Amino acid sequence: DRVLVNKLSYRFGEPERGDIVVFARPETSPRTGDDIEDLIKRIVGLPGDSIVIENGKVAVNGAVLDEAYLPAGTVTQNGILPCTAAAPCEVPEGEIFVMGDNRGNSQDSRYIGTIEESTIVGEAFVRIWPLSRAGGL
């Protein structure tokens, strides 16, 4: 996919839960033979949040997220970082917890940890390619 990114959005405001952000690929992200330097994911957790993934659902600060943007029947699994009620994933100040909408095939904060806010390039707001899927995000 090709998207347009608003690089000014966070110069005048703070990231919000649900925003789709482009950020510099962290060193903890495994390379799979590609030369991709930026990743795109949805913000699930903000600084100070506690993330728990159980029974296929994501809860933030004890409240299950309404993730209407995910395809029906999507089950969210834990990654390397378990994020369970016994050991929740805590989001440090200055960082965010991100997840891909393709939960079964996404190297996101469940695997690579939280992302520093300073690495955010901008907010993705529209898909321009492929044309068959063009439109707002």
3-class SS at 110? helix
Which has the minimum average pLDDT: 13-22, 23-32, 91-100, 101-110? Answer: 23-32
Kindly report the CA angle at 21 between 79 and 107, in degrees rounded to 5?
20
Neighbours of 130 (CB within 10 A): 9
Domains: count for the chain: 1
- Its domain, for residue 58, covers 2-136
What integer pLDDT is reported at residue 123 of this predicted model? 96
Long-range contacts of 64-72 (CB under 8 A, 24+ apart): 69/18, 69/42, 69/101, 70/101, 70/103
Please choose, from the candidates 11, 47, 49, 22, the residue with its C-alpha nearest in 3D space to the C-alpha of residue 126.
22
Backbone torsions φ then ψ of 116, nearest 5 degrees:
-70, 130
- Residue 10 — pLDDT band, cuts 50, 70, 90? very high
Q: Confidence class of residue 136 from pLDDT cuts 50, 70 and 90?
A: confident
| Domain CATH code at residue 76 | 2.10.109.10
Residue 125 CB partners (closer than 8 Å, separation 6+):
3, 4, 5, 6, 20, 136, 137
Distance CA 31, CA 34 (A): 7
Tell me: pLDDT of 82 over 90.
no
Helix (H) or strand (E) holding 6: strand 2-6
Instruction: For the full predicted model, state whether its pTM sits above 0.95.
Output: no
